């Protein structure tokens, strides 16, 4: 017995359903593009752009303090695109949160931080450039014609030194910087140092931050792998990242892997972009490139500012747990900014926030009418879909008036069951 053929849908209804489905697909594809507006293409590699490298410290071979860069990153850097910061900015830009940067200082001449920078006395200058670079990853303001912007461009930055004039960190200076940032009211503090030894003063500073509900973010390993290996085992713990309640971060590159020869941490809570990432300079509108876990920690600190602004009910510990639990699965979970902001956690998770009263959506600056276009497109799609559905319904009603014979003939013809040539003569 030949197999029974599958019964196709009725012709009139099939055309209506197919047309409506096509409309939905087209609208779904066009909607996000219209809402988001044109998006720059991925940035070229830093080597093609010839971006200067930001220094980690200065020594006798350095030519004085950091100079301005002549190269501007006009396309969106890979790290911003990977983290989906354009979408995250619709929910939070970090406004209302102050992020402390414990590093080489942050330059008051950095235009991208203008009006949002305060600091400990003497920490508003940066001869090395590293602290300014980190602060830019966290909160650089967007500018017309520039692809680079910080993770939390609405956040304020508080600068505190954790190094000497050459950029060399010490436990005592890092401890003083942490305490200064906590006492200044920071909710998140990014510490760029990864120290091989803990001290009583550093441990006390970390406890001071925890007692004041401040989230500390620090690199799990130093940026300089050769320095890290001096006197260290193949994997080791570094401070303050290894201390309790500190969110420890490791870096990865554009291909998702860690750079060759990278120092392996004993443990890390999150991974974030940190290899060949782009940042601002101490002055001017040009940009630099840098690599290291301290820059990955800056991305996580910026994301923490977004989360603390969007979920003010969360404690520092809950914020850290939420970011870790919403990360992309990997040996070390990878930062998912949008997941940390809007992801729904299991009911038993410690970081589950109170039910949100609606969704807070920020204004979109310089969208060139993108929001209006999105609304108009949604209305047009809805009207088109209803029109197609109504047309399909009218056709079915008209077909029904022809009686069962008409319907049977139409269905039989659609199935290919009508009389074949020569078959009637054989009857």
- From 43, 130, 293, 311, active-site residue: 130
SS3 189: strand
- Residue 345: the pLDDT is 82
- 103, 126, 251, 275: the catalytic one is 103
What is the distance between the alpha carbons of residues 109 and 280, in angstroms, rounded to a whole number? 11
The alpha carbon torsion through 199, 223, 277, 281 (nearest 10 deg) reads 70
**Rounded alpha-carbon distances, angstroms, from residue 45 to 48, 85, 138, 233, 380:** 5, 19, 21, 34, 41
Confidence of residue 361 (pLDDT cuts 50, 70, 90): very low
pLDDT digits (tens, 9 = 90+) for 274-326: 999 999 999 999 999 999 999 999 999 999 999 999 999 999 999 999 999 99
77 falls in which pLDDT band (50, 70, 90)?
Answer: very high
| Whether 301 contacts 188, CB under 8 Å | yes
pLDDT of residue 386: 63
Cβ distance 78 to 273 under 8 Å?
Answer: yes
DSSP 427: -
CB 74 within 8 A of CB 147: yes
CA dihedral 337, 236, 164, 176 (to 10 degrees): 70
Active site residue 402: no
State how far the Cα of 275 lies from the Cα of 244, in Å rounded to an integer.
26
Q: Is 421's pLDDT higher than 50?
A: no
Cβ–Cβ < 8 Å for 382, 24 = no
Query: What are the start-end ranges of the E strands in 198-355?
Result: 215-219, 235-236, 246-252, 264-265, 270-273, 277-280, 287-290
Angle between helices 11-36 and 403-415 (to 10 degrees): 70
* 240 close to 175: Cβ distance less than 8 angstroms: no
328 DSSP 8-state letter? B
Residues 6+ apart with CB under 8 A from 385: 20, 23, 24, 27
Q: Give CA–CA dist 348/39, Å, rounded.
A: 39
Q: What is the pLDDT of residues 174-190, one digit of tens each?
A: 999 999 999 999 999 99
* Catalytic residue chosen out of the listed positions 43, 192, 291, 294: 294
Local structure of 217: helix, strand or coil: strand
Instruction: Judge whether 187 and 223 are in contact, CB under 8 Å.
Output: no
- Asked whether residue 79 carries a pLDDT value surpassing 60, the answer given is yes
CA angle, corner 149, sides to 281 and 110, nearest 5? 30
Residues 6+ apart with CB under 8 A from 190: 99, 100, 101, 102, 103, 134, 138, 217, 218, 297, 298, 301
pLDDT tens-digit profile of 342-357?
A: 998 876 544 444 444 4
Say if strands 287-290 and 277-280 run parallel, antiparallel, or are unpaired.
Answer: antiparallel
Confidence grade of residue 246 (pLDDT, cut at 50, 70, 90): very high
| Residue 13 binned pLDDT confidence (cut-offs 50, 70, 90) | very low
Residue 99 near residue 242 (C-beta atoms within 8 A): no
Is residue 208 annotated as a catalytic residue, yes or no?
no
Predicted confidence at residue 236, as pLDDT, reads 84
Known catalytic membership, residue 248: no
CA 131/CA 100 separation, integer angstroms: 11
Rounded to whole angstroms, how far apart are CA atoms 256 and 51?
22
């Amino acid at each position: 017995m030949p197999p029974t053929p599958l019964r196709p849908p009725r012709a009139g209804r099939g055309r209506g359903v197919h047309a409506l489905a096509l409309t939905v697909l087209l609208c779904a594809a066009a909607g996000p593009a219209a809402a988001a507006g044109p998006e720059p293409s991925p940035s070229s590699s830093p080597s093609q752009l010839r971006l200067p490298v930001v220094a980690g410290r200065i020594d006798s071979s350095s030519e004085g303090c950091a100079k301005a860069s002549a190269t501007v990153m006009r396309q969106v850097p890979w790290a911003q695109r990977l983290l989906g910061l354009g979408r995250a900015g619709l929910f939070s830009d970090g406004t209302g949160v102050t992020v402390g940067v414990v590093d080489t200082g942050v330059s008051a001449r950095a235009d991208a931080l203008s009006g949002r920078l305060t600091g400990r006395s003497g920490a508003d200058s940066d001869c090395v450039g590293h602290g300014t670079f980190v602060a830019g990853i966290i909160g650089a303001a967007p500018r017309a014609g520039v692809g680079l912007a910080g993770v939390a461009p609405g956040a304020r930055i508080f600068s505190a030194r954790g190094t000497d004039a050459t950029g060399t960190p010490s436990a005592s200076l890092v401890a003083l910087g942490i305490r200064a940032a906590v006492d200044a009211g920071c909710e998140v503090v990014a510490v760029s140092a990864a120290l091989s030894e803990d001290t009583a003063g550093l441990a006390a500073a970390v406890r001071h931050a925890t007692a004041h509900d401040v989230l500390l973010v620090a690199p799990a390993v130093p940026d300089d792998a050769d320095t890290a290996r001096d006197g260290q085992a193949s994997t080791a713990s570094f401070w303050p990242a290894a201390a309790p309640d500190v969110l420890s971060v490791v870096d990865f590159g554009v291909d998702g892997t860690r750079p060759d020869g990278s120092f392996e941490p004993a443990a890390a809570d999150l991974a974030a972009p940190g290899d060949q990432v782009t940042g601002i300079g101490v002055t001017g509108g040009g940009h630099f490139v840098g690599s290291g876990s301290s820059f990955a920690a800056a991305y996580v600190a910026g994301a923490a500012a977004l989360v603390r602004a969007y979920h003010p009910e969360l404690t520092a510990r809950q914020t850290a747990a939420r970011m870790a639990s919403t990360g992309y699965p990997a040996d070390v979970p990878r930062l998912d900014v949008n997941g940390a902001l809007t992801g729904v956690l299991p009911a038993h998770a410690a970081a589950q926030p109170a039910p949100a009263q609606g969704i807070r959506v920020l204004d979109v600056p310089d969208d060139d009418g993108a929001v209006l276009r999105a609304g108009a497109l949604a209305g047009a799609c809805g009207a088109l879909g209803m029109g197609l559905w109504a047309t399909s319904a009218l056709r079915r009603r008209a077909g029904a008036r022809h009686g069962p014979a008409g319907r049977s003939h139409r269905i039989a013809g659609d199935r290919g069951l009508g009389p074949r040539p020569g078959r009637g003569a054989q009857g």
